[in-house]
């Protein structure tokens, strides 16, 4: 079987960056057609810059990086510098990327790619707010049936929220976009906080990545040194959760994860619970399942995979 074609839609973000590195290190399994950037953790100019810095850190500059939407569909942007730092990628010493942005808009790239590739052969990996994907689906509804799968980091059930008491950041930033995706009928796999909070970059795990001695290893370790501080202070956990890399790890080794097919609806009306992912984990409604909602992961296996792949860069 050939490598699976993917587009990564992202708002780097240290954990997005690790997800990009994991994908860039895995060309045998993943054919990364392009990276589309969205506003989220930091504004679009920074996410589009950070994605190119990550490609350069990996020594993989032939992947096109597009800028997409600079604001949610119909709300002002909410950012997360308190988690990721002012650059979005605080930790390592950053540089001005040499790699240019690809010409054109990321939303058009998503539409054109899905129309051009064989139906059912392109997977969308979403690591940030779902604005770009929802905009593409709104503009070109014909592409929805052509998506192989959407694998997203977003939402929570047992862990409830991180940006508000009820909502996870990626869904909260653009709940209307998330609603469009969950109602689209496209196959969806979700990596919610329930699983990502189990995949912690503990000190020994980060030390193993640093010990690789490579540029990508150092870059990753320095990002994770910075990234852990927020969750360690907030949750008393042993390291930063590698939210977004779970999406890529799922494509590489799905046996590391387990979950349930459930119905997921998005709260878009309530001030109190805006962006909540109402997941019918216990099957108490007759609403049709629309997503595979992951709940557990083999964290040791995950870090073994990540470290082994980063060693290839």
Q: Segment 238-297, which members bind Ca ion (CB under 5 A)?
A: 244
User: Binding to ligand BDR by residue 162, rule CB under 6 A?
Assistant: yes
The site that binds ligand BDR (CB under 6 A) totals a number of residues, namely: 15
For ligand BDR, which residue of 23, 34, 39, 41 counts as binding (CB under 6 A)?
Answer: 41
If one counts every other C-beta atom within 10 angstroms of the C-beta of residue 150, the result is 23
Please give the Cα distance from 170 to 240 (Å, whole number). Answer: 17
Helix, coil or strand: residue 294: strand
127 versus 276: smaller Cβ distance to Ca ion = 127
When binding is defined by CB under 5 A, the residue of 48, 127, 152, 310 that contacts Ca ion is: 127
CA of residue 41 relative to chain centroid, distance: 11
Concerning whether 243 is annotated as a catalytic residue, the answer is: yes
Asked if 127 is part of the footprint of ligand BDR (rule: CB under 6 A), the reply reads yes
Is residue 244 a contact residue for ligand BDR (CB under 6 A)?
Answer: yes
Q: Is 128 in the site for Ca ion (CB under 5 A)?
A: yes
Cβ contact 181:137 at 8 Å:
yes
Q: Please report where in the chains the tokens 């780097």 appear, as a residue.
A: 12
Q: How far is CA 154 from CA 31, 102, 189, 236, 255, in A?
A: 23, 27, 10, 22, 20
Q: Residue 168, interface with ligand BDR (CB under 6 A)?
A: yes
Among 243, 194, 202, which Cα is nearest to 225's? 202
User: Looking at residue 197, what DSSP letter applies?
Assistant: T
Q: Does 192 bind Ca ion (CB under 5 A)?
A: no
Q: 186: which 2 tokens?
A: 């496209």
CA pair distance 207, 215, nearest whole angstrom: 14
Q: Decide: helix, strand or coil at residue 124.
A: strand
C-beta of 88: minimal distance to ligand BDR in Å?
9
CB 277 within 8 A of CB 244: no
Mask for 176-215, x = binds ligand BDR (CB under 6 A): ----------------------------------------
129 contributes a contact to Ca ion by CB under 5 A: no
Which residues of this protein are in contact with ligand BDR, per CB under 6 A? 13, 15-16, 41, 80, 83, 127-128, 153, 162, 168-170, 243-244
Among all residues, which ones are annotated catalytic?
A: 243
Which residues of this protein are in contact with Ca ion, per CB under 5 A? 11, 13, 16, 127-128, 244
């Amino acid at each position: 079987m050939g490598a699976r074609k993917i587009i990564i839609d992202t708002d780097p973000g240290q954990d997005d960056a690790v997800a990009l590195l994991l994908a860039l290190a895995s060309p045998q399994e993943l054919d990364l057609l392009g990276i589309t950037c969205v506003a989220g953790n930091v504004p679009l100019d920074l996410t589009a810059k950070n994605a190119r810095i990550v490609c350069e850190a990996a020594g993989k500059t032939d992947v096109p990086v597009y800028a997409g939407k600079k604001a949610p569909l119909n709300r002002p942007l909410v950012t997360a510098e308190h988690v990721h730092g002012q650059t979005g990628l605080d930790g390592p010493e950053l540089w001005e990327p040499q790699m240019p942005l690809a010409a054109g808009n990321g939303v058009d790239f998503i539409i054109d790619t899905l129309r051009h590739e064989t139906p059912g052969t392109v997977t969308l990996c979403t690591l940030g707010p779902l604005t770009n994907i929802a905009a593409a689906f709104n503009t070109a509804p014909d592409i929805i049936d052509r998506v192989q799968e959407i694998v997203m980091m977003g939402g929570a059930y047992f862990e409830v929220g991180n940006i508000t008491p009820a909502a996870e950041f990626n869904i909260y930033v653009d709940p209307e976009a998330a609603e469009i995706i969950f109602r689209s009928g496209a196959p969806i796999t979700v990596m919610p906080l329930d699983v990502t909070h189990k995949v912690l970059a503990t000190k020994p795990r980060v030390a193993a990545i640093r010990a690789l001695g490579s540029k990508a290893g150092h870059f990753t370790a320095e990002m994770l040194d910075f990234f852990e501080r927020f969750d360690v202070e907030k949750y008393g956990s042993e390291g930063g959760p590698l939210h977004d890399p779970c999406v890529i790890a799922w494509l590489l080794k799905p046996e590391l994860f387990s979950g349930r097919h459930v119905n997921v609806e998005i709260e878009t009306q309530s001030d109190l619970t805006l962006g909540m992912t109402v997941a019918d984990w216990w099957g108490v409604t007759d609403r049709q399942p629309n997503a595979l909602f992951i709940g557990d992961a083999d964290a040791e296996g995950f870090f073994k995979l990540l470290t082994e792949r980063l060693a290839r860069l």
